[in-house]
Copies of this chain bind each other. A is one copy, B any other.
Amino acid sequence: MVSSLRLPTLTSLFSPSLTRRSTLSLRRRLHLGPPLATGFSSQSAAPSPPETEDRVDNKKSSRVQDRANAERVITPRSPDFNAWYLDVIANAELADYGPVRGTMVIRPYGYAIWEAIQEYLNVKFKETGHSNMYFPQLIPYSFIEKEASHVEGFSPELALVTIGGGKELEEKLVVRPTSETIVNHMFTQWIHSYRDLPLMINQWANVTRWEMRTKPFVRTLEFLWQEGHTAHASPEEAEKEALQMIGVYTKFAYEQAAIPVIAGRKSKVETFAGADRTYTIEAMMGDRKALQAGTSHNLGQNFSRAFGTQFTDENGQRQHVWQTSWAISTRFVGGIIMTHGDDTGLILPPRIAPIQVVIVPIWKKVDEKTGVLDAASKVAEILKTAGLKVKLDGADQRTPGWKFNFWEMKGVPLRIEIGPRDVSSGTVVISRRDVPGKQGKVFGISMEPSILEAYVKDRLDEIQSSLLQRAISFQDSYFVDWNQAYYEPLHNDMITMRS
């Protein structure tokens, strides 16, 4: 089923929104996703009518442009969370709008966060027995039609190639919105007997969905994701796999992104058509709304029946395979921004931060410069050798104060300051991004390599767990209950958190 791998949007799964949610038609929820604005907060809790494309885009674009070109000012979070979110993305240079409505250019700093997500998950996928591969993104329209009974109304989200090589095509081609159909077309050719099972693959790819209301990272016309696809000889194995992968996502969210997600099963009405069961991880963002941050589906035999994906079992009987699919996308970057950021800008958990430590050398007189820069380089070398991601900002054009603000806005977990006095005393000053002002600042940390390395690593660990604790407390403060009509949390013992 085409939409089974959708990572659908900011959803609200908490009970106060029940009455509001239920006024939405099923079709809208399944195909366009729930409205962005629902949840605990009193602000715009009712779904607003979709804005016209131009209005949405012009407004956002002008904000991004204004902020980027003017002084770096970030709207405070509480009066307008959405404006704050867009300001952080623009100022921290995480992403920019592409020329086609709803598309996004992922800039180097934003892409580096995605790379950190990829690096971790890619290893976990391989450890759990999956191989990467690549399927073409152009899918014959007839494949989608095979699934028509399941995805009635999905076609409004498709981008269609109708002209190729200067000629009108005989059959329209769909630009991949998800790959179940083409995966099953190929699986049918590769799977013959139980010996070919389980078949467990993953691909890192771009997908295209014609979303009407877009928001950087959270919902864009094109986004990047990984989609896992597996085929098994029994329903038990498929269920175990679907749970295993939601476990991998859960562990990733907690341990790497410091996001306390809740793994659960969507109720029947929320299960994606084409799946027997849909598991998701849900996280509460800074505006107290839920973000669906990853999905894992037990597809049962729905696709294997549609595409004739069969195997000969050990008794010589032909059976349809049991399948799963699971995905995490660049939306997760949006989840990180919205979980940890504050009025000053981004706050990044050390384990996924592209820069973990920024070093700012401080000098006033010219004759101080060399000594300060030398010491700063030495400190950078020590920390790089220790395996940390370090940036030395020795630029002449900016003041230390400007640099402090800039790197705080970029969410770098630790800042090291080195001035002439520090050089004489052989020490540095270290500030934590997550603890503002004097409280987060410690003077007189020795530059001696082993002491410095140990101190910095300890602080990074502390920040990592402190961010998680803070997010847990926030969630606990505002969480009321699950909306049982939509969601049922999993018991802990159902999820394997592999190490």
Q: Do A100 and B136 touch across chains, with their CB atoms under 8 A apart?
A: yes
In which size bucket is the chain A interface? Answer: 35 or more
Most buried by B among A107, A110, A157, A212: A107
Which A109-129 residues sit within 8 Å CB-CB of chain B? 110-112, 114-115
* One of A81-89, A163-171, A229-237, A419-427 contacting the partner: A163-171
Q: Is A103 close to B, CB under 8 A?
A: yes
Q: How far is the CA of A131 from the CA of B108 in the complex (A)?
A: 6
Residues of B within 8 A of A99 (CB): 136, 139-140, 143, 182, 185
A223 to chain B, nearest CB (A): 10
Which A140-183 residues sit within 8 Å CB-CB of chain B? 140, 143, 155-166, 172-173, 175, 182
Q: Do A163 and B165 touch across chains, with their CB atoms under 8 A apart?
A: no
Residues of B within 8 A of A182 (CB): 98-99
Q: Do A112 and B131 touch across chains, with their CB atoms under 8 A apart?
A: yes
| Chain B residue nearest in CB terms to A108 | B131
| Chain B residue nearest in CB terms to A186 | B105
- Indicate how many identical chains form the complex: 2
| Chain B residue nearest in CB terms to A114 | B134
Q: Do B175 and A165 touch across chains, with their CB atoms under 8 A apart?
A: no
Residue interface mask A353-386, B partner, CB < 8 A = 1? 0000000000000000000000000000000000
Q: How far is the CA of A326 from the CA of B201 in the complex (A)?
A: 30
A155 to chain B, nearest CB (A): 6
Q: Do B137 and A206 touch across chains, with their CB atoms under 8 A apart?
A: yes
Q: Is A189 close to B, CB under 8 A?
A: yes
Residues of B within 8 A of A143 (CB): 99
Q: Do B164 and A160 touch across chains, with their CB atoms under 8 A apart?
A: yes
Q: Do B111 and A131 touch across chains, with their CB atoms under 8 A apart?
A: yes
| Chain B residue nearest in CB terms to A96 | B186
Q: Do A159 and B161 touch across chains, with their CB atoms under 8 A apart?
A: yes
Residues of B within 8 A of A172 (CB): 163
Name A's interface SS: mixed
Q: Is A492 close to B, CB under 8 A?
A: no
A96-B186, A100-B138, A208-B138 known; A133 vs B161 contact (CB < 8 Å): no
Q: How far is the CA of A172 from the CA of B165 in the complex (A)?
A: 14
Q: Do A165 and B133 touch across chains, with their CB atoms under 8 A apart?
A: no
A133-B105, A166-B155 known; A195 vs B397 contact (CB < 8 Å): yes
Chain A residues with CB under 8 Å of chain B are: 65, 96, 98-100, 103-108, 110-112, 114-115, 131-140, 143, 155-166, 172-173, 175, 182, 185-186, 189-190, 195, 201, 205-206, 208, 210, 212, 221-222, 224, 397
29 A-B contacts, Cβ less than 8 Å apart?
Answer: A96-B189, A98-B182, A99-B139, A99-B182, A100-B136, A100-B138, A100-B140, A100-B173, A104-B136, A105-B186, A106-B134, A108-B132, A111-B132, A112-B132, A134-B224, A156-B166, A158-B164, A158-B165, A158-B166, A159-B163, A159-B165, A160-B162, A160-B164, A161-B161, A161-B162, A161-B175, A163-B172, A165-B210, A165-B212
8 A-B pairs closest in CB distance? A165-B210, A108-B131, A103-B136, A98-B136, A160-B163, A106-B134, A156-B166, A164-B210
